[in-house]
Amino acid sequence: MSGGDLFSADALGSDQLGQPLAARMRPKRVGEYIAQEHLLGENKPLRLAVERGQIHSMILWGPPGVGKTTLARLLANEVDSHFIAISAVLSGVKDIRQAVQEAQQQRAQYGRQTILFVDEVHRFNKSQQDAFLPYVEDGTVIFVGATTENPSFEVNNALLSRCRVYVLKSFSPEQLQKLILRALHDEELGLGRRSLSIAAEPMKLLATAADGDARRALNLLEIASDLVEDNDEIGLDVLEQVLVGDVRRFDKGGDVFYEQISALHKSVRGSDPDAALYWCLRMLDGGCDPIYIARRVVRMASEDIGNADPRALQIAMDAWEAQERLGSPEGELTLAQAVVYLASAAKSNAVYNAFKAARAHVQSLPSYDVPMHLRNAPTRLMKNMEYGAEYRYAHDEPDAFAAGVKYFPDEMEETHYYAPVKRGLEIQIGEKLQHLRHQNVEYRNQHEKKK
């Protein structure tokens, strides 16, 4: 069985007090389960499934420490099902076969259904995930997978279509404080026999440091309890020792990572410098590589600001360079400066839209030749072949603009991908382009009349 969850071990035995506090405090019934009211509250889906004794295959998706394995075991206890747990990190197809055989024996000998829990199911490859399908189909097992990753991307469609996805939420600070108090007062399994106490402010700090992770909260509480005598109070001075060098949960490369960078990007796009600064600091506080943020900030400068304020790109590039030269924490201030500037700047996605439109157009068309008048002619042969013939040098024309010249391939109509918005510098860019395009039309009309 996987030991990667807050409440994932088997029922406690005589040596239960030798286990970590987080393992000892795992609930045994749904009524003892703190949090996930959106699933286990009155008339909520999982609560109704338990009450009706109709547990179905499911994927439990949520961050670490929210009790995914616990919930799976509790569901098995509530409906009196056999429970088998395997970890995708440690198991292979052989373990899957053994689990299926055990489930088949349970059904044949005792008429008992089996809940097969697969921790970190996203770690299994496609063939390993496919191995479950026939046994889910024929009812040999009720499949319950746990994952910290988005199942839409990490779980095969065939298996996903046979499961209902339930999203488990991080513990709120209030729920963590309730869990901390329960552990402090529980005389059988918790710290109650030591008569320890904790004041409101230290408990709030402890719950905040746990960052939504119940296992983390209990682990920190247990470490703090080791630093005090029986009947003592766990104070701020003790917690400061425990939390030295501690960082918040930050799932690099996982959903939390992409959710926070998405929030940063959308805050910049939405012109909210305060929210943008908050998400930037949240990522840095969680251990995100500042260079990654710098790269994304450069992207934001082009995608969401563009030519409405070209200074944004330069400021973003300067921040990246400063971060590389200064390192952390000095360089992080320049990232903050860039993020605040970008969020405050005039916005335009005109270049971004033009880029996408031009790329799609290029991919849909043949590879047309470069028109003869646009070709360079460095040799006499090329000149004799009329490379560059009739080319008009723009700087020799009035206002450095050769009106009427066509720069697209001969086979293509002139196309306008770039549509400047009426914000920032793009107001002037749009006016200039409109003027130049009008000159093109006038020149070509006059040229046609001469013909």
Is the whole-model pTM more than 0.85?
A: no
219 Cβ neighbours under 8 A, 6+ residues apart:
20, 21, 22
| Mean pLDDT across 122-133 | 90
pLDDT of residue 45: 86
| Mean pLDDT across 301-316 | 96
User: Residue 441 has what DSSP assignment?
Assistant: H
- In b/e form, how buried is each residue of 266-293, taking b as 16+ CB within 10 angstroms? ebbbeeebebbbebbebbbebebebeeb
| Mean pLDDT across 192-197 | 91
Assess contact for 143 and 109: CB atoms under 8 A: no
What's the pLDDT band for 380 if we cut at 50, 70, 90?
confident
The full DSSP string for 172-228 is: PHHHHHHHHHHHHH-TTTSSGGGT-EE-HHHHHHHHHHHTT-HHHHHHHHHHHHHTS
Q: Per-residue pLDDT for 157 more than 80?
A: yes
* pLDDT tens figures, 261-298: 889 999 999 999 999 999 999 888 878 889 999 999 99
What percent of the chain is helix, strand and coil (3-state, nearest 5)? 55, 5, 40
Cis ω on the peptide bond leading into residue 366 (within 30° of 0)? no
**Highest averaged pLDDT of the listed ranges 71-80, 332-341, 386-395:** 332-341
pLDDT of residue 248: 56
